[in-house]
């Protein structure tokens, strides 16, 4: 049987100040780790949650994002009548030719601006996006220079509230509605009619065409049909593939999170190591006594590692608690694929908290290993003679 856990717990309680200080260094590290990972997680979710499995985005072959792409109007006619495209109740193909442009808008309370995506949609555009929900006002009417703004953009940018007038391109546009698009990339966009937007930006062509396939089999057939048609020079990706590709925007944040957390972890592990070395030094005689009554080196090693891990787990738990209030807080970053604002929420998942705890335990283990090794390999006679 191993040395009882109460031995460790009571020792931690006896030197509670040292325990608390060591645990707090781990708390801070875990908090930073969880917060940064929650940022990356939120960003990733907003991109991976976007898209209907049967929606395909048709873009110019070779373009990485809709803003780089153009689809000529005559190509739209060819696309519309490809086999495998779903029809609405009127028997018309479910297709939305779309124009995506970027405008620079000032953030609320700041002079500096940021790029925001304006999407001009075709008549089927709303119906094709299950995430879309109008929460205030009404939908735009064509020909009247009206826009609807996502809730997150309305909250974060000037002149984007309901009834506000927004100046871009060749004049003022009125905000007539606020929409919610959940946790998706659309939640960072301003929408209007594609045919209203095009003349204002002197565009003849669309950026992309969103098409709805009849079924999963048709998705593959449509992708092939678009790619095989040499007149078009276009490609079709599923909407989910397209947004998943953009998740690499989260990579630098993830890297930063891991990098900063790793640096802090080195410090926290040293704190744990220092504490455990002190604990071993203070309890050398006890270690000798435990060895004398028959506890093996292995059980001494395990006992001190457990003690270090207990401190770290306490720190990790506190770290997760401290990070928790950030869950759901909205923030934004530049999507490096589209160079426009992407608003999203910090997302602390149970998996992330578990990762935080594992990270803490790992710091405790590394910090405790060498002191525990020393404790286990202490010469019994020398240990008993220590004061």
Binding residues vs another protein (CB under 8 A): 1, 3-4, 6-7, 10-11, 14, 285-286, 288-298, 380-381, 384
Cβ closer to another protein: 5 or 266?
Answer: 5
CB-nearer residue toward another protein: 72 or 386? 386
For residue 52, count other CB atoms closer than 10 A to its CB. Answer: 16
Q: Which is nearer to another protein, 87 or 297 (CB)?
A: 297
- What's the closest the beta carbon of residue 310 comes to another protein, in angstroms? 14
Residue-by-residue DSSP string for 340-368: EEEEEE----HHHHHHHHHHHHHHHHHHH
The nearer residue to another protein, 298 or 328, going by C-beta atoms, is 298
Smallest gap from residue 12 Cβ to another protein (A):
9
How many angstroms from the chain centroid is the CA of residue 330?
Answer: 11
Smallest gap from Cβ 271 to another protein, in A, equals 22
Closest CB 318 distance from another protein, rounded Å = 23
Please, which residues bridge with residue 103 across strands? Answer: 116
Q: What does 101-147 look like in DSSP terms, one character per residue?
A: EEEEEEBTT-S-EEEEEEEEE-TTTTTT-TT-EEEEE----TTS-EE
Say how many CA atoms lie within 13 Å of 269 toward its Cβ.
15
Report, in Å, the least distance between residue 311 CB and another protein. Answer: 15
How far apart are CB 367 and another protein at their closest, in Å?
21
**Residue 135 near residue 180 (C-beta atoms within 8 A):** yes
Q: Return the number of the residue (105 or 310) whose C-beta is nearest another protein.
A: 310
Please state the closest distance from residue 14 (CB atom) to another protein, in A.
6
Which residues have C-beta within 8 Å of that of residue 20, sequence separation ≥ 6? none
Tokens 């209907």 locate to 52
Nearer to another protein, 111 or 381 (CB): 381
Closest C-alpha among 131, 149, 127, 132 to residue 140: 149
Phi, psi of 71 (to 5 degrees): -125, 120
Nearest to 299 by CA among 372, 210, 226, 216: 372
What separation, in Å, do the N-terminal and C-terminal C-alpha atoms of the chain show?
28
| CB-nearer residue toward another protein: 18 or 349 | 18
Q: How far apart are CA 36 and CA 48, in angstroms?
A: 18
| Cβ distance to another protein smaller for residue 147 or 279 | 279
- Tell me the C-alpha distance between 371 and 368, whole Å: 6
Minimum Å gap between C-beta 296 and another protein is: 5
């Amino acid at each position: 049987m191993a040395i009882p856990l109460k031995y460790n717990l009571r020792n931690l309680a006896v030197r509670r100040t040292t325990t608390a200080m060591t645990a707090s260094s781990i708390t801070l590290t875990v908090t930073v780790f969880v917060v940064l990972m929650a940022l990356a997680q939120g960003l990733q979710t907003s991109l991976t949650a976007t898209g209907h499995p049967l929606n395909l985005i048709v873009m110019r072959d070779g373009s990485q994002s809709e803003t780089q792409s153009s689809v000529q109007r005559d190509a739209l006619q060819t696309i519309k009548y490809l086999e495998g495209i779903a029809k609405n109740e009127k028997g018309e193909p479910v297709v939305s030719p779309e124009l995506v442009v970027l405008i620079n808008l000032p953030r609320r309370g700041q002079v500096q601006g940021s790029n925001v995506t304006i999407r001009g949609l075709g008549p089927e555009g709303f119906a094709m996006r299950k995430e879309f929900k109008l929460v205030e006002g009404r939908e735009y009417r064509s020909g009247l220079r009206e826009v609807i703004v996502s809730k997150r953009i309305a909250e974060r940018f000037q002149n984007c509230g309901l009834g506000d007038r927004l100046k871009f391109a060749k004049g003022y546009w009125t905000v007539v509605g606020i929409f919610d698009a959940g946790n998706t990339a659309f939640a960072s966009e301003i929408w209007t009619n594609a045919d209203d937007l095009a003349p204002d930006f002197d565009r003849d062509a669309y950026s992309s065409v969103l098409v709805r396939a009849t079924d999963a089999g048709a998705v593959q057939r449509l992708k092939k049909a678009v790619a095989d048609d040499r007149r078009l020079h276009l490609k079709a990706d599923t909407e989910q593939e397209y947004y998943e590709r953009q998740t690499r925007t989260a990579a630098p944040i993830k890297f930063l999170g891991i990098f900063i957390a790793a640096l802090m972890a080195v410090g926290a592990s040293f704190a744990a190591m220092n504490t455990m070395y002190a604990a071993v030094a203070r309890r050398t005689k006890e270690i000798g006594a435990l060895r004398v009554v028959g506890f093996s080196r292995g059980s001494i090693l395990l006992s001190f590692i457990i003690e270090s891990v207990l401190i770290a787990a306490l720190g990790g738990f506190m770290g997760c608690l401290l990070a928790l209030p950030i869950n759901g807080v909205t923030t934004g970053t530049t999507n490096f694929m589209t160079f426009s604002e992407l608003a999203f929420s910090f997302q602390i998942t149970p998996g992330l908290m578990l990762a935080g705890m594992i990270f803490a335990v790992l710091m405790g283990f590394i910090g405790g290993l060498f002191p525990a090794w020393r404790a286990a390999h202490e010469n019994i006679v020398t240990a008993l003679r220590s004061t």
